[in-house]
Structure 1
Amino acid sequence: MQRTIDRRQLLATAALGGVVGATGLGSLAPEAAFAAEAVTVEPGLPDPNFAEGRITAVSGSMLFVTGSDAVLHAIRITDGTSIWKLHPTTFDRVATGDGLYARGVRLPDGTLAADSVWVNIVNLHAHIASVGRNMLNLDHKGQRIVAHVVPNRSAAVYNGTPAVSDLSLLRVGRHVQVLGAWHPGTNEIDIATVYAAA
């Protein structure tokens, strides 16, 4: 419980112009976007400290987001907000039309003071349809996804071993899980991590 109180105080301070070190409040790893934090929520109700959707407007330090359930979210970016867009980045790289997941603390005015924001993040389970130079063609539920290998960024995890930059063990027909960053309005992504059996 103490962690929640401290986090609320830190985010409230940051939302009001205080300084909090980036990534000081939580993990920015892409896997963290899909991890469920322990929050006491009545069954059937959404997590008040989480938001997802498409950015419809950016104004000052605020992101206005329409969720996949049509709920509108006002998300405040603070001095302590960590932002991921294939790699840790800055607020000026976030744009209208981007998709996002955000975790933070709900403030009294209803805005979400974000401690972590993941922009255009995707988590796909797919089969490798073909392997090309610096790309994978994936079959995801009957849809073709073009997954680009990003030099010095993309990594593979084989059978749960530590991540490596060598993607040469990926084979056609194999099932993979891919975390990456979507190119809005396309069927293309940039690969952050591919999880596969060797």
Structure 2
Amino acid sequence: MTTFDRRTLLTSAVLGTTASLVGASTLGSLAPEAAFATRAKSPEPGAPDPNFAEGRVTGRNGAVVTAGGSDGRFHRIMLTGGTSVWKLHPTTIDQINVGDGLYARGVLLPDGVLAAEAVWVNIVNLKVGITSIGRNQLTMNHHGHKVIGHVVPGYSAAVYNGTPAVSDLSMLSVGRHAQVLGAWRPDTNEIDIATIYAAA
């Protein structure tokens, strides 16, 4: 059985030789939940994972996105034709804007560029209490902070008691706790809901 070498494949993708072969479906899920999966152990205890980047986007030059991490690190992230991009739904690099937040996973190349397998833009994962429900909108409390959640027809879904996701959010109720995955609207307290996990 052939060993799958991510570094070789992604290096080739950056050089344009196999870009169509690489994607999150091959190297890992693009589902929003995957952004928060346990990352690989760092080579040294306490050291950052070299194959993961997070931060606010500071610029974009062609296929390279730059971002300033919350830990003070500066990241250069290369997207190829095989990089999968999520911003509430699968999209393209053209939808990544300065000021967006992002998580990226891939392989760190020798020149310090992260060749990205998958990029999640503005993704948030919040534990909330539902305080009010309106038409296509939820008001929620997250550690004492008000969060407005927008229901996006065709994209927002609910998972009740671990059952498969459905588009019907009518079983949500005020006073209940939930976990929400969504896309943050930068510099606001508003998110677009991707999936909300709750008890029926």
TM-score over 0.5 for the pair: yes
Work out the percentage of aligned pairs sharing the same amino acid: 64
Matches within 5 A, 1:112-191: 112-191=114-193
Farther-moved stretch of structure 1 (180-189 vs 23-32): 23-32
Verify the 8 A CA contact 1:54 1:65 in the aligned structure 2: yes
Aligned residue type for 1:58: R
Verify the 8 A CA contact 1:10 1:20 in the aligned structure 2: no
Farther-moved stretch of structure 1 (175-184 vs 10-19): 10-19
Unaligned runs of 5+ in 2: none
Determine the C-alpha separation between the residues in 2 that align with 1:150 and 1:135. 9
TM-score normalised over the length of structure 2:
0.94
Determine the C-alpha separation between the residues in 2 that align with 1:185 and 1:36. 27
Verify the 8 A CA contact 2:42 2:50 in the aligned structure 1: no
Determine the C-alpha separation between the residues in 1 that align with 2:38 and 2:13. 24
Deviation at 1:68, TM superposition (A): 0.7
Residues 4-37 of structure 1, C-alpha deviation per residue, up to 9 Å, x if partnerless?
x521111100111122344332210000000014
Residues 147-189 of structure 1, C-alpha deviation per residue, up to 9 Å, x if partnerless?
0000011000011110011101111111100000000111110
* Moved >4 Å (runs of 4+): none
1:31 corresponds to: 33
Unaligned runs of 5+ in 1: none
Determine the C-alpha separation between the residues in 2 that align with 1:65 and 1:37. 19
Determine the C-alpha separation between the residues in 2 that align with 1:37 and 1:51. 11
Determine the C-alpha separation between the residues in 2 that align with 1:181 and 1:12. 30
2:20 corresponds to: 20
Determine the C-alpha separation between the residues in 1 that align with 2:38 and 2:75. 19
TM-score normalised over the length of structure 1:
0.95
Determine the C-alpha separation between the residues in 2 that align with 1:9 and 1:161. 39
Determine the C-alpha separation between the residues in 1 that align with 2:170 and 2:74. 43
Residues 39-61 of structure 1, C-alpha deviation per residue, up to 9 Å, x if partnerless?
45321111110000000011111
Aligned residue type for 1:11: L
